Amino acid sequence: MSGTYLGMPAFPEAAREAVGNATLRGNLRHATHTIRAKRAKAVSEVSDWAELREAGKRIKDHTLRHLDRYLVQLEESVTAAGGVVHWAADADEANEIVTRLVKMTGEPEAVKVKSMATQEIGLNEALEAEGIRAYETDLAELIVQLGKDRPSHILVPAIHRNRGEIRDIFTREMSEWGRPAPEGLTDTPAELAETARLHLREKFLRARVGISGANFMVAETGTLVVVESEGNGRMCLTLPETLISVVGIEKIVPTWQDLEVFLQTLPRSSTAERMNPYTSTWTGTTDEDGPQNFHLVLLDNGRTDTLADEVGRQALRCIRCSACLNVCPVYERAGGHAYGSVYPGPIGAILSPQLRGTGSEIDASLPYASSLCGACYEVCPVAIDIPEVLVHLRERVVQGGEVTRAGNKVVLRPAKGHAAERAAMRAARWAFLHPGALRTGQRAASRTRRFHPRTLPGPGRAWSGTRELPPVPAEPFRDWWQRTRGGKDGDR
Amino acid sequence: MNSRERILGRVRRALADVPADETPLSRDYLREHGRRSAAQTVDLLAENLADYRALVHRCTDGELADLIMRLLAERGSRTVLVPPGLPPYWLKASDVTQVHDRAASTAHELDRVDSVVTGCAVAIAETGTLVLDGSPDQGRRRITLVPDHHICVVRVPGQVVSSVPQGLERLDPARPLTWISGPSATSDIELDRVEGVHGPRTLEVILVGED
């Protein structure tokens, strides 16, 4: 992944700052609550939602389990349709390929469709370093780019900004990048959208190079699919002469027919619409219509490592709808930046530590950035059991063990900072294996009830600082059972 | 070893646990939602298009030319983009300057055109979606994108299907497709939907029945 996020503090520290920001919390609360009710309504319109969700899960699983076959098939069909396929093992390689392709056109700039994959690899920064300017054209990505900010949501990267802040950013920054914002710009969303339209139009009309990601790639036909709302995607996919698409290898579906599932579940899960305003599909190049040079860059960047984990690989089913972010109580309060990755929220908490490994402080803390309430699993249109993967990753952080990094099997050492937890679990295990000791301990705990502290001393302090300690009952369960035989002899 | 071999090798090693025989996919979701007559399906299309702020008109084939003339006049359009295979009688009542869809046109030239009139490949009622596939009556993808006013003619009930699965069945993936569900919109400001960003801000749909 890109270096932008290296050295990020662990989630609890980053979240503490966000939670103290009243404006941010208000913005997030408003936005997530708006979309929740709408999503529920959009989903309830479809009587076979459960079947569509199951089919989506199975199609994605099947594809992932035979990914080598489908990658080769995709390469063949894209090539046959006039596209050129490139393979990038990591972010640096993908950036090199795209930079080289843009330089071959001789153009100093490119227009971009919103793409998580290019955010993940830090493509804009890589192009900038080579003197190429990449213009974000999605409204929210534009807000983030103008504000020198970082995205905080998969669907709406500027979700942490409210209309007033957006107006201020437009007024202050637009003139640096092109057409300035009009005098006396107000903060009505329609006027802000109009300002973005005018600002970006000149860039679209002169663009010679477009850069995109893709929501789906069809192995059977070589077709790429981009799902969007604004039309900036259509602009970038049809007006330039050269189109470069950077897509994660997990975005494949086997057949054209498979799209019938995802084109129903994705819009309803993400923007809570029956259908998003625009969907573009293209297969290689078409004579006299759209870009005549098409390059597809297939990106690994940690995806094959994720695939090697039998529990964690389900994260690769993700179709980036963002429903899990919008229902997550932790995301709603902490915001996206605290997750230290372009993939925030519940999906980010299981995707980032797998794509990047759990070596850094932020990645080792992400599996804990959850209350395990399961709301994310309920709404996921491809039924990713996020809580299951979170628990699995917690175990990996605490105990270490064998993982795959950059294609090689390595043995992880247990992470620092979990010694107390490990000691407590070992002690519990020993106690449960020695019933006599357990009984003695329970009786002692019951008799000293009145003297128990409200918080734990020493290493337990961090744990009890945010939790109520459970009260100890007057007698252990086993003593009660022996005395009353399960209540049959009357309690007391 | 190049990156292609490296990635494919990593994938194969990662999938060492996967057995060769896998259960086939189940597709027990519906082919369409609910049971409707052809007329009811057209009504649903009109309703869903209007719900997403498209302007929907209905007429017979004989009334089509006059309706298109009226819509262009009300808009004040002086120029209209015309795909090569658009039936000439659609525009026979309109006295606006016709601009032809040519490969040589620049994006700036298209930007100066007021309106565009096209047919479509298929329309999906359940989602209120029009699909264009670049056929001669629809032209290149960019002509329905750059002008600010798009009039799309749908033949009903012949071009209307109920559902997304039925729509995909009728489409050819080898052709570049544009799926349009209302005018362009965004939810990027506070996750609230606003219509009208980069695509045509006015989408008019004419549902043409037989005389």
CA distance A108 to A23: 38
CA distance A395 to chain B (A): 20
- E strand or H helix that includes residue A44: helix A22-44
A205 and B108: CB-CB below 8 Å? yes
pLDDT at A355: 97
In a domain, A400, yes or no: no
In the stretch 60-119 of chain A, residues with CB closer than 8 A to chain B read: 62, 65-68, 71-72, 81, 87-89, 93
pLDDT at B25: 74
Residue at A277: amino acid letter: P
In the stretch 329-388 of chain A, residues with CB closer than 8 A to chain B read: none
Q: For B104, name the nearest residue in chain A, comparing CA atoms only.
A: A288
Read off the DSSP letter of residue B38.
H
In the stretch 434-463 of chain A, residues with CB closer than 8 A to chain B read: none
B128 and A158: CB-CB below 8 Å? no
For tokens 């709603």, the residue is A332
Assess whether pLDDT exceeds 70 at residue A156. yes
CA distance A417 to chain B (A): 30
CATH number, residue A212: 3.40.50.10420
Read off the DSSP letter of residue A85.
E
CB contact, 8 Å: A139 with chain B?
yes
Share of chain A above pLDDT 90, in %: 85
Residues 6+ apart with CB under 8 A from A342: A1, A5, A116, A119, A120, A150, A151, A348
A231 and B145: CB-CB below 8 Å? yes
DSSP string covering A127-194: HHHTT-EEEE-SHHHHHHHHTT-----SS-TTTT--HHHHHHHHHHHHHHHSSPPPTT----HHHHHH
Contacts of A235 in chain B (CB under 8 A): 145, 198
pLDDT confidence of A465, banded at 50, 70, 90?
A: confident
CA distance A355 to A350: 9
A238 and B145: CB-CB below 8 Å? yes
In a domain, A402, yes or no: no
For tokens 């529920």, the residue is A40
Contacts of B2 in chain A (CB under 8 A): 87
CB contact, 8 Å: B83 with chain A?
no
CB contact, 8 Å: B100 with chain A?
no
How many Cα atoms are found within 13 Å in the side-chain-facing hemisphere of A154? Answer: 23
DSSP string covering A252-320: EES-GGGHHHHHHHHHHHHT--SS-SEEEEEES-BTTBS-SEEEEEEE-TTHHHHHT-TTGGGGGG---
pLDDT at B88: 97
**CB neighbour burial string for B24-48, b if at least 16 within 10 angstroms, e if fewer:** ebebebbeebeeeeeeebbbbbbeb
Residue at B160: amino acid letter: V
Low-confidence winner among A379-388, B9-18, B21-30, B39-48 (lowest mean pLDDT): B21-30
Low-confidence winner among A184-188, A204-208, A220-224, A411-415 (lowest mean pLDDT): A411-415
Task: List pLDDT tens digits, range B146-160.
Answer: 999 999 999 999 999
Assess whether pLDDT exceeds 60 at residue A246. yes
Q: In which domain, by residue range, is A121 found?
A: 14-303
Total domains, chain A:
2
CA distance A236 to A243: 8
Residues 6+ apart with CB under 8 A from A305: A354, A355, A357, A403, A404, A405, A406, A407, B10, B14
In a domain, A3, yes or no: no
Residues 6+ apart with CB under 8 A from A232: A113, A114, A137, A138, A139, A200, A204, B197, B198
CA separation, residue B33 to residues A267, A381, B70, B129 (Å): 17, 18, 36, 15
In a domain, A85, yes or no: yes
Instruction: Name which of A264, A251, A247 is nearest A115 in CA terms.
Output: A247
pTM above 0.75, yes or no: yes
B15 and A87: CB-CB below 8 Å? no
CB contact, 8 Å: B4 with chain A?
yes
Assess whether pLDDT exceeds 90 at residue B41. yes
Tokens standing for residue A246: 């950077």
C-alpha angle A289-B140-B64 in degrees, rounded to nearest 5: 170
**Which of A303, A329, A350 lies at the terminal end of a domain, its last residue?**
A303
pLDDT confidence of A1, banded at 50, 70, 90?
A: very low
Question: Nearest CB to B111: which of A205, A298, A308?
Answer: A205
In a domain, A366, yes or no: no
In a domain, A368, yes or no: no
Calculate mean pLDDT across residues A450-457.
Answer: 84
B168 and A239: CB-CB below 8 Å? no
CA distance B161 to B179: 14
pLDDT at A2: 45
Calculate mean pLDDT across residues B56-84.
Answer: 98
Kindly list the structural domains of chain B, giving each domain's residue range(s) and its CATH number in brackets, ordered by start: 36-209 (3.40.50.10420)
CA distance B91 to chain A (A): 24
Calculate mean pLDDT across residues A147-160.
Answer: 94
Mean pLDDT for all residues in chain A: 94
Handedness of CA B44, B47, B53, B56 (dihedral sign): positive
Q: For B26, name the nearest residue in chain A, comparing CA atoms only.
A: A55
pLDDT at A491: 56
C-alpha angle B196-A229-B55 in degrees, rounded to nearest 5: 50
Contacts of A265 in chain B (CB under 8 A): none
In a domain, A196, yes or no: yes
Same domain, A296 and A426: no
Contacts of A54 in chain B (CB under 8 A): 26, 28
**Which of A256, A285, A303 lies at the terminal end of a domain, its last residue?**
A303
pLDDT at A348: 98
Q: For A256, name the nearest residue in chain B, comparing CA atoms only.
A: B173
Same domain, A56 and A196: yes
CA distance B6 to chain A (A): 7
Assess whether pLDDT exceeds 90 at residue B210. no
For tokens 């092109």, the residue is A178
Task: List pLDDT tens digits, range A157-211.
Answer: 999 999 999 999 999 999 999 999 999 999 999 999 999 999 999 999 999 999 9
Low-confidence winner among A83-87, A215-219, A304-308, A406-410 (lowest mean pLDDT): A406-410
Calculate mean pLDDT across residues B90-107.
Answer: 96
Task: List pLDDT tens digits, range A20-37.
Answer: 999 999 999 999 999 999
Low-confidence winner among A268-272, A452-456, B113-117 (lowest mean pLDDT): A452-456
Calculate mean pLDDT across residues B5-34.
Answer: 90
Same domain, A199 and A66: yes
Contact B11, A74 (CB under 8 A): no
CA distance A253 to A220: 8
CA distance A23 to A39: 24
Assess whether pLDDT exceeds 60 at residue A300. yes
In a domain, A370, yes or no: no
Contact B104, B178 (CB under 8 A): no
Q: Three-state DSSP class for A437? A: helix
For tokens 């409204």, the residue is A139
Assess whether pLDDT exceeds 50 at residue A292. yes
Q: What is the 3-state secondary structure (H, E, C) of A224-250?
A: EEEEECCCHHHHHHHCCCEEEEEEEHH
pLDDT at A490: 60
Calculate mean pLDDT across residues A143-166.
Answer: 95
Burial class (CB in 10 A: 0-12, 13-18, 19+), A137: buried
Residue B123 dihedral angles phi and psi, to the nearest 5°:
-125, 140
Handedness of CA A265, A271, A277, A278 (dihedral sign): negative
**Which of A253, A279, A303 lies at the terminal end of a domain, its last residue?**
A303
Assess whether pLDDT exceeds 50 at residue B198. yes
Tokens standing for residue B180: 């349009």
CA distance B30 to B7: 37
CA distance A10 to A3: 16
CB contact, 8 Å: B188 with chain A?
yes
CA distance A54 to A16: 37
